[in-house]
Structure 1
Amino acid sequence: MAPGKDVRLSSDREGLKADFLRRHGLADAQRIPLAGDASTRRYERLSRPGQASLIFMDQPPVETAPCPPDASPDDRRLAGYNAMARLAAGRVDAFVATAGWLRSQGLSAPEIIAHEAGEGLAVLEDLGDDLYARLIETGTDEAPLYEAAVEVLARLHEATPPPVLEAQGAAWPFLTYDDLALRTGGDMFLEWWPKFSGIAPFSPDAETEWEALWAPIRAR
């Protein structure tokens, strides 16, 4: 569907979304589809005459379960990628709780206007379209942008988050990005680089060498 056109109701999911917007006083908003990201989420900009635009986030609960906080490494391997990498599996309550904690630290995360975790829906503050890449392409000095990003990383490094993040009725455990999570992310290179570059798959010896190189780095 072309950007700028209203999204038509064509499925049960669309009906659920329309009902959510109606319950939160946004039934009359024009819904403008936005480009997605590398996830199962979908985004729309909600436009209303004379009012600030908002972002409508649709995260269908279709992914596998997130990582249980007390799962052992073996349990996580059996559960699959989300558990191995300690991902939130796209859960809206994780997004709401994390955004709330970031805002409590004085950082810029979107305000959550409305959300229904069980439905996988949320309405967020619209932070605009000024991505770093777009600003730099138009001549903006990149140094202050990257300095600001480094300052945020330093702030996060200094902060001590609670074991469970809580905001607006949502709660989510804050898990350590441990050895298994780091290895799961790094080992994706072994799987995907041959497919991307058109080379033969890595041999078992190469995979063993890869692990020998990275294991001491992960242990730091």
Structure 2
Amino acid sequence: MAPKMIPPASAPAFLAAHGWEGAEILPLAGDASFRRYFRVRRADGATAVLMDAPPDKEDIGPFLAVAGHLLDRGFAPPRPLAIDRAQGLLLLEDFGDDRVGPVLAREPHRERAIYEAAVDILAQIAAQPAPEGLPPYDEAAMAREVLLFTDWYLPAMGAEVDDAAYLDAWAESWGDVARLAEANPVMVLRDYHADNLMVIPGREELGLLDFQDALAGHAAYDLVSLLQDARRDVDPALEEAMIARYVEAANVADPLRFRAHYEILGAQRNTKILGIFTRLWKRDGKAHYLALQPRVWAYLERNLAHPALGPVRGWFDSNVPHKLRAAAWAEGAPQ
């Protein structure tokens, strides 16, 4: 089950040691991990965000390392204000409450401008090589992720398949992606979508969240994460316009090759997400993610239509019938 939103007992002393004695601690959010977030408010009105990452379950080291890389390159992650690694406590700059997803639900006229800004950030990230020390987003990593589909999704549907044939189909499709990522790796934030981007009061740049799992990989991954968002519908016309914007801004040398890689990584990511959402349901009791499965399937079906994914499409056609795809979720969780 999801952790209860009660501040850790060590929080008041941690805050007091760093100039926040007596600050009010208010529940803010949890996420798909064991991390929890609280807003702390001092008597003078100043606010910050407290991250609670239990050390036996989460390591704040990668968050701090990637935040440092982003800050050094001129981007806007929340700045760390105080750190206690032993207790897994981190006090962060407070960006407010305006995640891009809810902002666009209230103010849909801002969608194009915000997506343009988000795409431009990715083009700027891709203009620099990945920082040293980031693990590679290579074939082994991609394979581990797509196995979430066969390890969690298909068993939940009552289906069993041959993992070897499954991985062979993927390897046949993503070989060129992996070669390019190995030759020219960029920093891939891996969960770059509307609910992890912030409109910061009084600032033009978008704030970045949930980047601690960054890897060194292919530039198209974060673009497809943004434009095929599991949590909100992105109009296909906007998706096409933003792909074109990225291709121009990043000076992509071979747009057709890039588009093939975009669809391959989209298929890989969406397949992984179907497995992750099922695992969150079955293992962690977080059933609310299941409502997102039909949207993810719609993205995946579009990805699989690209010729570069012929082997993977063939495997899906042979092993995952229509009744086990989006149709399985039409009336809620399968029984």
Under a length normalisation based on structure 2, what TM-score does the superposition of the two structures give?
0.48
Alpha-carbon distance between aligned partners in 2 of 1:61 and 1:119, rounded to the nearest angstrom:
6
User: Does the C-alpha gap of structure 1 residues 155 and 181 become closer, same or farther in structure 2, counting only changes over 3 Å?
Assistant: same
- Count matched residues: 171
| Equivalent position to 2:139, from 179, 191, 197 | 179
Q: Check conservation: 2:12, 2:22, Cα contact below 8 A.
A: no
**Corresponding position: 1:54 with 2:23:** no
Alpha-carbon distance between aligned partners in 1 of 2:111 and 2:54, rounded to the nearest angstrom:
36
**Which residues of 2 match residues 88-107 of structure 1 at below 5 A?**
90-107=58-75
Aligned to 2:270: none
Q: Check conservation: 1:7, 1:31, Cα contact below 8 A.
A: no
Alpha-carbon distance, 1:219 to partner: 2.4
Aligned to 2:267: none
| Equivalent position to 2:12, from 18, 35, 45 | 18
RMSD over aligned Cα, in angstroms? Answer: 2.0
Q: Check conservation: 1:182, 1:218, Cα contact below 8 A.
A: no
Cα deviation digits, residues 42-95 of structure 1 (max 9, x gap): 1100012333310000100123xxxxxxxxxxxxxxxxxxxxxxxxxx321221
Alpha-carbon distance between aligned partners in 2 of 1:97 and 1:103, rounded to the nearest angstrom:
10
**Corresponding position: 1:115 with 2:71:** no
Q: Check conservation: 2:82, 2:90, Cα contact below 8 A.
A: yes
Instruction: Read off the aligned partner of 1:159 and give its amino acid letter.
Output: Q
**Corresponding position: 1:135 with 2:103:** yes
Aligned to 2:131: 162
Aligned to 1:70: none
Moved >3 Å (runs of 4+): none
User: Does the C-alpha gap of structure 1 residues 22 and 56 become closer, same or farther in structure 2, counting only changes over 3 Å?
Assistant: same
Under a length normalisation based on structure 1, what TM-score does the superposition of the two structures give?
0.70
Alpha-carbon distance, 1:143 to partner: 1.3
Q: Secondary structure at the match of 2:20?
A: coil
Name structure 2 gaps, 5 residues minimum.
177-335
Aligned to 1:148: 117
Q: Percent identity?
A: 32
| Equivalent position to 1:201, from 148, 151, 159 | 159
Alpha-carbon distance, 1:7 to partner: 5.3
Q: Check conservation: 2:25, 2:41, Cα contact below 8 A.
A: yes
Q: Check conservation: 2:69, 2:131, Cα contact below 8 A.
A: no
Name structure 1 gaps, 5 residues minimum.
1-5, 64-89, 164-172
**Which residues of 2 match residues 18-97 of structure 1 at below 5 A?**
18-63=12-57, 90-97=58-65
Alpha-carbon distance between aligned partners in 2 of 1:189 and 1:153, rounded to the nearest angstrom:
28
Q: Check conservation: 1:55, 1:126, Cα contact below 8 A.
A: yes
Deviates more, 1:209-218 or 1:48-57: 209-218
